[in-house]
């Protein structure tokens, strides 16, 4: 189980930004900018049980990626708690990193290695023995339909192939939690469907999956739970059915706009 409690992350503004902000009216400033600080994430909380898929939503700049980077240990929270199966991620990030599979927008492959060599390399970095590694490679390559290009060098792959290979290296070490930041953005229909089917394969397993997306049809297809973040704050946290009920129409796009607009008015 993954539990995220009252996450907060702030960054110090550079001097140029501070000077420019002094020239702006109060209405022009981002409400998260306070003096010398920008509060990228103000207060984010949610949980995801084993075998659940959670969709993380929000407009651009809402704090989704910053929240996911804290989950992955790439960023240290200013305050708050992240717990995986009872263990505190923030207290021991290096040890916990081995238990997390994180795909970011900058996850990449070694271009001169083949897909298989890349995945083998990352599996060995996690200390996997060769027999287990080969078993997992076959299983993951089956699920992501990678076998046809497994022995191609990474620099010769299409965008969709690279993303599938990136996901394979993300999960090869059998992580306890999987975190995917916009895994289907920019992909063709076939590659996107392959990745969505892969995510769906974890439903009912021992692994919680969190993924951010701007595609609400993906949420409708896959998600047990939904979290919407706006201006660094959890605006909604509940089941997909609860999310639908926020709007009288039950349409996810209507719900998204309603929640974001309510925050803007507030």
**What is the rounded average pLDDT of the residues 214-218?**
95
Instruction: Label residue 94 exposed, middle or buried (CB < 10 Å: 0-12, 13-18, 19+).
Output: exposed
pLDDT exceeds cutoff 90 at 159: yes
pLDDT band at 32 (very low <50, low <70, confident <90, very high): confident
Q: Look at 14-23, 80-89, 191-200 and tell me which has the smallest mean pLDDT.
A: 14-23
Q: What is the 3-state secondary structure (H, E, C) of 185-228?
A: CCCCHHHHHHHHHHHHCCCCCCCCEEEECCCHHHHHHHCCEEEE
The reported pTM is: 0.90
Mean pLDDT of the chain: 92
pLDDT exceeds cutoff 90 at 140: yes
pLDDT exceeds cutoff 60 at 232: yes
The pLDDT value recorded for residue 266 is 43
**What is the rounded average pLDDT of the residues 114-123?**
97
pLDDT band at 37 (very low <50, low <70, confident <90, very high): confident
Domains in the chain: ranges and CATH: 2-99+177-185+206-265 (3.40.50.300)
Q: What is the pLDDT of residues 2-28, one digit of tens each?
A: 999 999 999 988 888 777 767 677 666
């Amino acid at each position: 189980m993954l539990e995220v409690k009252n996450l907060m992350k702030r960054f110090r503004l550079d001097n140029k930004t501070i000077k420019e902000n002094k020239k702006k009216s109060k209405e022009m400033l981002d409400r998260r900018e306070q003096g010398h600080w920008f509060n990228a994430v103000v207060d984010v909380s949610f949980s995801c049980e084993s075998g659940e898929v959670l969709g993380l939503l929000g407009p651009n700049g809402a704090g989704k990626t910053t929240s996911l980077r804290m989950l992955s240990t790439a960023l240290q929270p200013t305050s708050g708690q992240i717990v995986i199966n009872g263990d505190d991620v923030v207290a021991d990030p290096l040890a916990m990193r081995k238990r997390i599979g994180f795909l970011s927008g900058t996850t990449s492959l070694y271009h001169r290695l083949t897909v298989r060599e890349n995945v083998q390399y990352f599996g060995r970095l996690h200390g996997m023995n060769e027999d287990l590694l080969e078993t997992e490679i076959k299983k993951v390559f089956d699920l992501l339909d990678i076998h046809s290009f497994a022995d191609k060098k990474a620099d010769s792959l299409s965008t969709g192939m690279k993303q599938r290979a990136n996901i394979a290296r993300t999960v090869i070490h059998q992580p306890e939690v999987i975190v995917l930041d916009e895994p289907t953005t920019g992909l063709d229909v076939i590659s996107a469907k392959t990745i969505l089917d892969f995510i769906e394969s974890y439903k009912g397993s021992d692994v919680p999956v969190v993924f951010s997306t701007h595609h609400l049809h993906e949420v409708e297809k896959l998600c047990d739970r939904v979290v919407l973040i706006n201006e660094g704050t959890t605006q909604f946290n509940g089941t997909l059915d609860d999310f639908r009920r926020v709007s009288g129409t039950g349409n996810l796009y209507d719900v998204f706009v309603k929640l974001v607009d309510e925050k803007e008015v507030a």
